[in-house]
Structure 1
């Protein structure tokens, strides 16, 4: 069921034996790397034992949490890493249990939520060939379950507002249906581009920020002055939510063929929506990085939003903004010790170089599969 886990121990042994492995070169950092791989292999052995005992009669929700943790470690190593196989293994296990009495959203809460987030946001940066009828099936289920997850966004790895998660799911379904035109229309799910845009624009980052701060104060009361809370204030929460709203609108716009963006929608023209999204997104990102100088922490959560901003900067030939984004993505890598941000900067710079001397306007809708051929995940 989970071949990636079964292969992990032998993969560790093979990598150490390889002439290119640091241990073979007496690299000073080899011990730390070997210890990391050893712990990963040990964890894989342990999880393999848990999975081998899985039965439909006695589902164990703890395994979902363990899988989410293992997946997160892989994502921290690389946006292009082995997390693909682990996510597929987790989804196979979820399918196995979905027909039992186990309430996945209720019983597996945090772990299940993070697996769902990984699936949703890896789909946003997947080429069309990865989208299938199963994409629609999984995402439709996520929409049905999202209100039962009882996970407030700041408790997750990445505090994306629920409304923007719903919007991203809807866009993913829209893309999958466009790729597989034989799919039936999903009842109760907004899949028209104009309807998705209207829903996304109706979201209020300011209202969400008030709710976020109130919920945080309730769970973590602070009667004494708190400098971190002073920096991560209402304006900071608003900028965080704004970054996700604006980035999600850009993702929606790129998912639509250019000839379908002619004319207006209930909330204005597509061109106006695109201009608004880029302006508000870059403003929010700059604001959050300015707060970093005062120990603000919300800038740590906007990797996906920064990637979307970088792509639009390339379309607009806004090289100054692209330089700002790539520089701060690498700052994120240093601050968090995670390579995905550096990989995102590399991807943006390579994309800029590829299209720098173009003679026609860059249309990302036609190049999405090329840019994201390796289906990375830039979220956590």
Structure 2
């Protein structure tokens, strides 16, 4: 069985393979290392016999990997291969079941060769396959970056950065608790204010109705009093005329009517006195209304204080986020500068190294 994998569109300076987990990156790298004869790279197979499917028990007689190189550029061609447009390199392993011990074959453009010509071919294009860093496998980059951070002294800033993040998480929980408590308190005060306003409105309506009724009764009493005064004057004049005529019987009748009128006026006077008492009650209710309004203003002041406290806490949280962001930018700039090809730190990196501790200390002091 032979599986051919063709990858197109590679750049001439391509030197890395990146893809999602499980896509076969390690298999491609292992195959390239195997066919080039690299020995200082740890492969997935423990020995060459593991490269053959079921160790040759299913009729598989060999394991083979073939790499085809583009040789169209004559200026970089290896000596003796200038006329070949492509260079085909194959390595085969035959299991012990067929031959003892394992036999490894190198085939270059269809001709069987030893490993040394293969090494010479690779070295002719300025490749040193025995270099430990010729192929950087997965996971090695983190180790190299860790050594660089340790040598540059930036690993301690990562620890401080993590502590600052933990402090920020604690602060965020406190802010969430304060926000929740403030929201519930504001909601409770809002319900109280709505209920208070509704009660005050109903009370004002009732008081207004009582005052309107009392004023109407006062106006009606004044009108009836004026009419009674006019009637009394007319009766008095009429009675004087009757007395002048000597009509005693008529005078008695007039006197009787006057007595009845006095009784009626006395009754109206009692009614007016009751109205005055009601007006005094209205004044008492107005005083109670004034006190309730003062209490409402005090509640409004408490609500404003809670809102101000919430704004201050939110502003402090924003300031801490800005400080941490600044520290992260400085740290990232330092790491980028140390990862460059220069052997010595630049002046800008030195300045950043002096600035980062102050930013970190500022963030830590706000915990």
| Both structures adopt the same fold (TM-score exceeding 0.5) | no
More helix by share: 1
Q: Please identify the structure whose Cα radius of gyration is greater.
A: 2
TM-score, structure 2 as length reference: 0.21
TM-score, structure 1 as length reference: 0.20
Relative contact order higher in (CA < 8 Å, ≥ 6 apart): 1
More strand by share: 2
